[in-house]
Amino acid sequence: MGVSPSASDQRLTTMSQAIDSRPAPSEANPFHIAQRQFDEAAEYLDLEPALRELLRWPRREYKFTIPVRMDGGGTRVFHGYRVQYNDALGPTKGGLRWHPEETLDTVRALAAWMTWKTAVMDIPLGGGKGGVTCNPKELSEGERERLARGWMRVMARELGEHRDVPAPDVYTNPRIMAWMMDEYEVITGRSHPAVITGKPLVVGGSVGRDDATARGGVLCVREACRRTKVNPRGTYAIQGFGNAGQYAALLHEDILGGGKLVAVSDTSAALHNPDGFDPRETVDYKLRNGHLAGLPGSREISSDELLALDVDVLYPSALENVITETNAGDIKARIICELANGPTTPEADEILNRAGVHVIPDFLANAGGVTVSYFEQVQGTYNYYWTLDKVHRELEANMVNAYRAVCKMHDEQQVHMRMAAYLVAVARVAEAVKIRGWV
């Protein structure tokens, strides 16, 4: 099955507090989790106290209001965010989520993970994240455009290809990036294709950006199967069927040379078919209907049953805190490829590690997206665009190198894969901070 970025693929969209230093173990606040993970790595690396304090907090954060004229005549005020977590390795980089449960703390966590993500990939960028608390499904096209432009009007002076470069994430898409770039260019009076990535091709997007997150994850799975001797043509399940989950379904068999997609889920349903779903038909059904419920040939199961299926590869591809201490013990997958950001809580992590599951941690597994965003930024900056073949070759080289660097650390230090990824990433950022003379 060939997968190329066709017009229909462009329709795949991502429609898919003050912190105390020792949060309670059951804490599900993603920023507490991000800080706990960092603290463990800092301890392991024996970072000095000032460096630790600098890296466990965002360098800058913006929280603001965005008034939007609604179609019905009134004005609604939305809450927007941008966190520029760390820019020691380069301009901050990271997506924008439009989600009803977005808070400053979710954005902080995601901005921290972006910092470790660009660092583990060894690309010259820092980490940032932004968002708006809203339910975009309830907004008209015009309201979404005014919200996108309103966000950019507040943030424009703090962004730029040499400062901070946003991109799509959950419930934002290339169209929204185009409106934002356009607003930025209206404000600055200049062309700035590299101020934002994940744009439509016609306004300076990169070929291969649309499926890059999933492609990077599936490439890691290919490497992981070789390393752990798991059957690459075995079974796989996908939890979450937005942009990353849909493309993972389409790419898995191509990249691994076979496989059987036995379960899929989205917010409408979790579905099982031991004989295997056809990935293309499943994606087409989701695109036609907007949800998976009712997919022919499937049996409905619970989300926890999906996570507990006896599969070779499990792709958590939705949001944070899906694999927790209550369901981690039931997981039978040999490899977990975290296409979502933060799907596994630290307590669940320990259970998975004890069980010997090979976890490809989120900020490695889903780094293909930001890597091709970086390529898009490079192309936009010198205004010359690459072929799909070149994007794929460069992405593959970057992913394989990063996966191997993490495995090397895992073998040398005898730490689990997430900690190995943290050690690689945090050491790189710490070195840049020190060499710049910040601490």
| 371 strand-pairing partners | none
Total residues contacting ligand GLU by CB under 6 A comes to 13
Classify residue 319 as left (phi > 0), alpha (psi -120 to 50) or beta: beta
Interface region with ligand GLU, contact rule CB under 6 A, candidates 82-90, 351-359, 367-375, 395-403: 367-375
Alpha carbons 230 and 184: distance in angstroms, whole number: 48
Using rule CB under 6 A, residue 93 touches ligand GLU: yes
Of 48-56, 234-242, 269-277, 366-374, the window that binds ligand GLU (rule: CB under 6 A) is 366-374
Which residues ranging from 149 to 208 are in contact with ligand GLU (CB under 6 A)? 167, 169, 197-198
Interface positions, 198-257, toward ligand GLU (CB under 6 A)? 198
Which residue's Cβ has the minimum distance to ligand GLU?
Answer: 95
Residue 366 CB, nearest approach to ligand GLU (Å):
6
101 vs 412 by CB, closer to ligand GLU: 101
Task: Find the binding residues for ligand GLU in span 256-315 (CB under 6 A).
Answer: none
Residue 336 Cα distances to 63, 87, 220, 236, angstroms: 34, 30, 10, 10
| Candidates 63, 93, 117, 129; catalytic one | 129
Q: Which of 5, 95, 131, 279 binds ligand GLU (CB under 6 A)?
A: 95
Contact segment (CB under 6 A) with ligand GLU among 36-44, 87-95, 143-151, 313-321 equals 87-95
Using rule CB under 6 A, residue 336 touches ligand GLU: no
- Which residue matches tokens 């005020």? 77
Residues 110-149 that bind ligand GLU (CB under 6 A): 117
Q: Which of 366, 375, 386, 410 binds ligand GLU (CB under 6 A)?
A: 366
Active site residue 129: yes
* Of 225, 234, 296, 303, the residue nearest 264 (C-alpha): 303
Quick one: which segment of 52-60, 264-272, 327-335, 362-370 binds ligand GLU (CB under 6 A)?
A: 362-370
- How far is 250 from 186, CA to CA, in rounded Å? 38
From residue 398 to residue 427, what is the string marking binding to ligand GLU with x (rule CB under 6 A)? ------------------------------
Nearest to residue 369, comparing CAs of 334, 347, 333, 398? 398
Q: How far apart are CA 349 and CA 323, in angstroms?
A: 8
Interface residues with ligand GLU (CB under 6 A) are 93-95, 117, 167, 169, 197-198, 341, 366, 369-370, 373
Catalytic (active-site) positions? 129
